[in-house]
């Protein structure tokens, strides 16, 4: 008579099959991120052979410095779009925050106070977007389109359409021009924001609420979650990120301009959608967004090194956005609900 098998004893074949199924599920849920990663690799290889100095250390560091503002805002935009929202005001916020920072410093304000006020302004603008969108039920597209106009107009009003220089003596220029161990400070800030955003999105209840708000808001509300507050917070984060990006841009250029950030919102949205976040909500990937931002940065940098007219860069970015939306909604929509 054979001995009974312990319930802890699992056949090797079953364990192997379970692991294979787990790996298959992981691959399907991350297919968008892997696809854009392959695109990034192909682009890096292509420009390495066709563009002089592309892989040189100075160019790589400069490229990371330039990508940083886009990456910072794209991380928070991932949260916004995952809730099935949108924030079109981020480009205007970049202009207003950078302009006000320069104006206040030029007028003799303490740079630290000026910086804090600018960041607070980003929170306020984000709260306005979130209040109208989440608490009043207005379409986020219309709300943020309106604030885009108000914020850009305010930047033009305060500056008169002119740039305002920032003295090199002001410590805030370090945020855009400084280096730590040879790495640009903006790149370090962007990486920290991406890591923090990724952890919040995938490892916290709030991240799950964001996904739930975009996929089935009513079901989430019935579990006792304050869905309106969840929606409010994603816009506050977006406004804070946009004002931070404006500070980095102004600090890097040592100048605040009301013309900064023109088309910035489209670049950010392209990075997010290219990374696998669904415009319909309920699916997002901070890792994919980071790779998407790198793809756009590599393309822009590589085309410049190839002496291609900068006007073509916008054409390429627009084409990438259209293709990304098509692939996102038509081909890959069946692969999971959340891309980690």
Average pLDDT, integer, range 3-20: 57
Give the phi and the psi of residue 9 in degrees, each rounded to 5. -85, 115
What pLDDT is recorded for position 26?
55
What pLDDT is recorded for position 331?
60
Cβ–Cβ under 8 Å, residues 167 and 110: no
Query: Which residue segments constitute the domains of the chain, with CATH numbers given?
Result: 36-331 (1.10.3470)
Q: By three-state DSSP, how is residue 179 classified?
A: strand
Considering only residues 335 and 301, tell me which one the structure prediction assigns the higher pLDDT. 301
Average pLDDT, integer, range 319-334: 71
- Dist. CA 72–CA 75, nearest whole Å: 6
Lowest mean pLDDT among 13-17, 114-118, 293-297: 13-17
Considering only residues 2 and 53, tell me which one the structure prediction assigns the higher pLDDT. 53
Q: Please list, in sequence order, all residues whose beta carbon lies within 8 angstroms of the beta carbon of residue 166, skipping any fewer than 6 positions away.
A: 101, 102, 105, 106, 172, 173, 250, 251, 254, 255, 256
User: pLDDT of 139-193, one tens digit each?
Assistant: 999 999 999 999 999 999 999 888 999 988 889 999 999 999 999 999 999 999 9
What pLDDT is recorded for position 17?
62
What pLDDT is recorded for position 1?
46
Average pLDDT, integer, range 27-38: 74
Q: For all residues of the chain together, what is the average pLDDT?
A: 87
Is pTM, for the whole model, over 0.85? yes
Tell me the range of 52-66, 75-89, 301-315 where mean pLDDT is highest. 75-89
Q: Which two tokens stand for residue 38?
A: 């392959």
Q: What share of the chain is helix, strand, coil (3-state, %, to 5)?
A: 75, 0, 25
Percent of the chain, pLDDT > 90?
61
């Amino acid at each position: 008579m054979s001995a009974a098998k312990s319930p802890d004893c699992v056949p090797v074949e079953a364990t192997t099959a379970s692991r294979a199924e787990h790996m298959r599920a992981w691959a399907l849920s991350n297919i968008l991120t892997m696809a854009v990663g392959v695109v990034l690799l192909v682009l890096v290889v292509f420009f390495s052979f066709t563009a002089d100095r592309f892989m040189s250390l100075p160019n790589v560091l400069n490229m990371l410095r330039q990508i940083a503002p886009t990456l910072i805002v794209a991380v928070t935009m991932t949260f916004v779009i995952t809730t099935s929202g949108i924030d079109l005001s981020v480009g205007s916020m970049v202009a207003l925050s950078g302009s006000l920072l320069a104006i206040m410093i030029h007028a003799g304000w303490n740079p630290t106070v000026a910086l804090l006020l600018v960041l607070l302004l980003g929170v306020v603008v984000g709260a306005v977007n979130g209040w109208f969108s989440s608490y009043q039920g207005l379409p986020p597209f219309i709300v943020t389109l309106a604030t885009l106009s108000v914020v850009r107009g305010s930047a033009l009003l305060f500056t008169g359409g002119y740039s305002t220089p920032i003295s090199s003596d002001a410590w805030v220029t370090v945020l855009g021009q400084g280096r730590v161990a040879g790495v640009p400070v903006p790149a370090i800030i962007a990486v920290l924001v991406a890591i923090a955003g990724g952890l919040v999105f995938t490892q916290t209840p709030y991240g799950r609420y964001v996904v739930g708000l975009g996929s089935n808001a009513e079901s989430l509300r019935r579990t006792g979650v304050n869905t309106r507050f969840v929606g409010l917070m994603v816009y506050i984060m977006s406004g804070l990120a946009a004002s931070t990006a404006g500070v980095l841009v102004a600090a890097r250029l040592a100048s605040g301009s009301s013309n900064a950030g023109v088309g910035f919102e489209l670049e950010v949205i392209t990075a997010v959608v290219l990374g696998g976040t669904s415009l319909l909500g309920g699916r997002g990937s901070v890792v994919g967004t980071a790779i998407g931002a790198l793809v756009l940065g590599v393309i822009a940098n590589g085309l410049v090194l190839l002496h291609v007219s900068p006007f073509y860069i916008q054409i390429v970015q627009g084409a990438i956005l259209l293709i990304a939306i098509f692939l996102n909604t038509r081909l890959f929509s069946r692969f999971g609900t959340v891309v980690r």
